[in-house]
């Protein structure tokens, strides 16, 4: 295990610790639970930046596997109440690290962890901010409890996240790819939300859409 990996693992668990502290502090100050959950949602997604810098190998599986175990304990015994929903059927806190594990496996298998990071950061920033903005300002609904402004935030952030990652990794057709991924992620978040399944479907679909886009472009 190299020093780089050790640093990456240390930063991963430090980030997780900070997220749990934030959840507890928000709960003590009576911050709405959904705002608390989505703040942690956004914070933990920054793990992908750590992974891209320090853990671009199968060591990247260690933190999300740990997250899954800890989240299960929290879900089962309500250890960190700020990140848990009241409805036991809502499994979003378990789907989140499961999505991370699947995205790491897929990204590493393709030797392109950044493809997994696209879905992971869209789940964090796009879905997280969409909920926060929607709850705060979303008076006009577009579908079910989804607001126009929340859905717009989802689209804009999904496009931005994808555009930044693909630009950093100097990929082709960055604008078009970002637009397609953003449309897919927004559609998914708007219509697939039962029992927290969007925590699994949004990141997986986002990364897969880009993967197939890249594959088609390479064939043409």
pLDDT at 92 (0 to 100):
61
Average pLDDT value for the chain: 89
Task: State the DSSP string of 17-36.
Answer: HHHHHHHHHHHHTT--HHHH
| Ramachandran category for residue 138: left, alpha or beta (phi over 0 → left; psi -120 to 50 → alpha) | beta
pLDDT at 76 (0 to 100):
67
90-134 per-position pLDDT tens digit: 666 788 899 999 999 999 999 999 999 999 999 999 999 999 999
pLDDT at 87 over 60: no
Tokens at 130, concatenated = 């969409």
Q: Percentage of residues in the chain with pLDDT exceeding 90?
A: 63
pLDDT at 57 (0 to 100):
86
29-65 per-position pLDDT tens digit: 888 888 988 899 899 999 999 999 999 789 999 999 9
Residues contacting residue 10 through CB under 8 Å, at least 6 positions apart = none
Going by C-alpha positions, the residue among 155, 148, 161, 142 that lies closest to residue 187 is 155
pLDDT at 84 over 60: no
Going by C-alpha positions, the residue among 123, 4, 125, 107 that lies closest to residue 53 is 4
17/198 Cα distance (integer angstroms): 24
Residues contacting residue 50 through CB under 8 Å, at least 6 positions apart = 8, 11, 12, 15
| Ramachandran category for residue 196: left, alpha or beta (phi over 0 → left; psi -120 to 50 → alpha) | left
pLDDT at 157 over 60: yes
């Amino acid at each position: 295990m190299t020093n780089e990996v050790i640093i990456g693992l240390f930063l991963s668990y430090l980030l997780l610790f900070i997220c749990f502290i934030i959840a507890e502090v928000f709960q003590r100050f009576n911050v709405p639970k959904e705002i608390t959950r989505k703040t942690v949602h956004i914070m933990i997604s920054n793990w992908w930046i750590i992974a891209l810098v320090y853990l671009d190998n199968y060591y990247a599986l260690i933190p999300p596997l740990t997250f899954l175990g800890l989240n299960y304990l929290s879900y089962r015994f309500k250890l960190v109440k700020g990140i848990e929903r009241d409805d036991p059927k809502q499994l979003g806190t378990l789907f989140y690290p499961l999505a991370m594990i699947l995205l790491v496996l897929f990204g590493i298998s393709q030797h392109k962890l950044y493809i997994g990071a696209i879905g992971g950061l869209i789940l964090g920033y796009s879905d997280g901010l969409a909920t926060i903005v929607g709850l705060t300002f979303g008076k006009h609904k577009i579908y079910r409890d989804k607001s126009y402004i929340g859905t717009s935030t989802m689209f804009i952030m999904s496009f931005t996240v994808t555009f930044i990652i693909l630009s950093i990794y100097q990929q082709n057709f960055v604008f078009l790819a970002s637009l397609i991924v953003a449309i897919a992620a927004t559609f998914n978040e708007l219509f697939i939300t039962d029992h927290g399944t969007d925590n699994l479907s949004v990141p997986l679909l986002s990364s897969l859409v880009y993967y197939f886009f890249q594959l088609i472009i390479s064939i043409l």
